């Protein structure tokens, strides 16, 4: 009998997450009951927010349950269905978690067109990360032509789309990324006007030099020194889309030592969670799908092979070991 391989959360991390916090289990592949769908996963998504769910703390989502399959967005193929809305062969995006197969009652599944756009892109530029970039850029920063927009984690799943949307809006775009390869890619492929390497010993001076006209829009994914440096360079009526603070997900909280600059410049800073804006998803996904089909935004992926690679992939994602969207390929 073919078994369903799964990974469950075995213990909560103290400090940094490690593969030892997870446990591998096997069980028979379930058969769909009335109204249910069985999906064979092709890819699962690794997302920085998963780190927050490993802690038993109050947040905008419930913590991951110990002993339960690790939750994650997935794409795959319907292999059996007792649900009128799905048939075998349908390609679907869902929340199937770290396992090869998942049962669903259909409420978390959406049929997608994998003929025009690669299936795994529904976990990236035409999925949650793309909508996150779309929301923060269009609804919070709303750049005008000629303004300067800074994007941190500039080549990542969210940042790569945010930077390209800002460029399409006519902004001057400045990326912040880790290492010369990521910075070269940010400029040559993603179209950033400039990209500054946060690993450079002269990072602060280089970022300041890249911002001669100050900062009108900041798409903040990281926190820490890049964030503080950009706050010091804010222009009057600047907008900050506070999307993520990945530098502090396993470390000390991000200090904000120049709050006065927000006041003096009358800047807006808005934290947002993309799942609060579900009514806007169809519009965002429609626009992103049209743009992707037309060749922009571009994106890249880091693909790890096999379910067993998921825990280490999560560890690596949290420390810059991905180049573009981090995925695990299951089939």
Ligand X SMILES: NC(=O)c1ccc[n+]([C@@H]2O[C@H](COP(=O)([O-])OP(=O)(O)OC[C@H]3O[C@@H](n4cnc5c(N)ncnc54)[C@H](OP(=O)(O)O)[C@@H]3O)[C@@H](O)[C@H]2O)c1
In the set 320, 327, 328, 330, which binds ligand X (CB under 6 A)? 320
Where in 259-298 is the site for ligand X (CB under 6 A)? Answer: 272-274
CB of 272 to ligand X, least distance (A): 5
* By CB under 6 A, residue 61 contacts ligand X: no
- Comparing CB distances to ligand X, the nearer of 86 and 134 is 134
In the set 6, 42, 53, 182, which binds ligand X (CB under 6 A)? 182
CB of 246 to ligand X, least distance (A): 4
- Comparing CB distances to ligand X, the nearer of 200 and 235 is 200
Where in 226-255 is the site for ligand X (CB under 6 A)? Answer: 243-244, 246-247
Rounded Cα gap, residues 275 and 293, in angstroms: 24
| 175: its two tokens | 């990326």
- Comparing CB distances to ligand X, the nearer of 86 and 122 is 122
Stretch that binds ligand X, among 15-23, 61-69, 217-225, 289-297 (CB under 6 A): 217-225
* By CB under 6 A, residue 132 contacts ligand X: yes
- The site that binds ligand X (CB under 6 A) totals a number of residues, namely 30
CB of 228 to ligand X, least distance (A): 12
In the set 129, 130, 217, 311, which binds ligand X (CB under 6 A)? 129
* By CB under 6 A, residue 49 contacts ligand X: yes
* By CB under 6 A, residue 178 contacts ligand X: yes
* By CB under 6 A, residue 198 contacts ligand X: yes
| 301: its two tokens | 């992926």
In the set 32, 48, 73, 94, which binds ligand X (CB under 6 A)? 48
* By CB under 6 A, residue 222 contacts ligand X: yes
- Comparing CB distances to ligand X, the nearer of 37 and 151 is 151
Rounded Cα gap, residues 131 and 153, in angstroms: 16
Core vs surface per residue 243-269: b (16+ CB within 10 A) or e: bbbbbebeeeebeeeeeebbeebebeb
Measured CA to CA in angstroms, residue 60 lies from 70, 157, 211, 238 at distances of: 17, 21, 34, 27
HSE (CB half, 13 Å, CA atoms) of 116? 11
| 115: its two tokens | 């003929």
- Comparing CB distances to ligand X, the nearer of 159 and 191 is 159
In the set 106, 127, 143, 159, which binds ligand X (CB under 6 A)? 159
Rounded Cα gap, residues 123 and 328, in angstroms: 11
- Comparing CB distances to ligand X, the nearer of 34 and 253 is 253
* By CB under 6 A, residue 158 contacts ligand X: yes
Q: Which residues bind ligand X (CB under 6 A)?
A: 47-49, 129, 132, 153, 155-159, 177-178, 182, 198, 221-222, 224, 243-244, 246-247, 272-274, 317, 319-320, 322, 325
């Amino acid at each position: 009998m073919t078994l369903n391989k799964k990974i469950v959360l075995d213990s909560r991390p103290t400090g940094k997450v490690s593969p030892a916090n997870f446990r591998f289990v096997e069980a028979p592949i379930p058969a769909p009951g009335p109204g249910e769908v069985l999906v064979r996963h092709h890819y699962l998504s690794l997302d920085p927010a998963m780190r927050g769910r490993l802690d038993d703390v109050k947040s905008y989502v419930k913590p991951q349950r110990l002993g339960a399959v690790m939750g994650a967005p997935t794409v795959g193929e319907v292999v059996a269905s007792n649900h009128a809305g799905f048939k075998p062969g349908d390609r679907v995006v869902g929340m199937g978690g770290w396992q090869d197969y998942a049962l669903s009652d259909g409420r978390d599944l959406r049929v997608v067109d994998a003929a025009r756009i690669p299936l795994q892109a529904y976990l990236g530029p035409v999925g949650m990360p793309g909508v996150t970039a779309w929301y923060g850029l269009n609804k919070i920063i709303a750049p005008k032509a000629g303004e300067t927009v800074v994007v941190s984690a500039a080549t990542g799943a969210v940042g790569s789309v945010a930077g390209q949307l800002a460029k399409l809006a006519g902004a001057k775009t400045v990326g912040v990324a880790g290492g010369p390869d990521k910075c070269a890619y940010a400029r040559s492929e993603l179209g950033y006007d400039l990209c500054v390497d946060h690993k450079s010993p002269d990072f602060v001076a280089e970022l300041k030099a890249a911002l001669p006209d100050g900062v009108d829009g900041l798409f903040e994914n990281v926190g820490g020194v890049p964030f503080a440096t950009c706050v010091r360079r804010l222009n009057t009526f600047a907008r900050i889309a506070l999307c993520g603070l990945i530098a502090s997900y396993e470390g000390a909280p991000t200090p904000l030592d120049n709050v006065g600059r927000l006041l003096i410049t009358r800047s807006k800073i808005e934290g947002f969670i993309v799942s609060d804006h579900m009514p806007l998803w169809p519009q965002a996904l429609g626009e992103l799908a049209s743009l992707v089909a037309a060749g922009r935004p571009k994106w890249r992926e880091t693909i790890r092979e096999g379910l067993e690679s998921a825990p280490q992939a999560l560890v690596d994602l949290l420390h810059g070991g991905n180049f573009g969207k981090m995925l695990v390929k299951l089939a």
